[in-house]
Structure 1
Amino acid sequence: MRAKLVRIGNSRGLRLSKPVLQQAGLEEEVELTVEPGLLSIRPIVLPRLGWEDSAASRSPEGLLDEPTSTSFDDREWTW
């Protein structure tokens, strides 16, 4: 696919059609990677998206392992 760069003030922009954006999974913000002769545009991946809802759906019991002492607890910490 070919596209033209359009002037936007002192910069240049690239118009992408809605079907192209949908096919690539691009929304409001993107991640740009630049290398000589190559510009990559990728969707921003939020690796922890949905964790809060998932944690909220669990009961508070059983989320953490039982506490275990470490060498720091045994030798260096005063309770």
Structure 2
Amino acid sequence: MLVRVRRIGNSQGVILSKTMMDQCDIKDMVNVEVKGNAIVIEPVTHKPREGWAKQFQIAGPDSNEDLMGNISNEFDDSDWTW
């Protein structure tokens, strides 16, 4: 299906039909990713902060446990002096 890209303020977007939204079980939130040369839109099947409360309970208020795992960024890897 060809769909025209429309200006929405300073951005651009496309309008998806209700039928298309229903077929993909999209309600009110989607996850949007770029994969290769494609934009992939998927329905969100869980709440964005689901599980956070449990993670904080596991750590406890006085815990020094690293809940972020081995997440790093370019700044941490190259520019930060420890």
Question: Which ranges of structure 2 fall in alignment gaps of 5 or more residues?
Answer: 51-82
Number of residue equivalences: 48
Q: Which residue of 1 aligns with 2:4?
A: 4
Superposition TM-score, scaled by structure 2 size: 0.52
Q: Which residue of 1 aligns with 2:29?
A: 29
The offset of 1:3, in angstroms, is 0.6
Question: Which ranges of structure 1 fall in alignment gaps of 5 or more residues?
Answer: 49-79
Q: CA RMSD in A?
A: 1.8
Superposition TM-score, scaled by structure 1 size: 0.54
Distance 1:30 1:3 in 2: 19
Matches within 5 A, 1:1-79: 1-46=1-46
Moved over 2 A (4+): none
Distance 2:8 2:36 in 1: 23
Rg: which structure is higher? 1
Q: SS at the partner of 2:45?
A: coil
Q: Percent identity?
A: 31
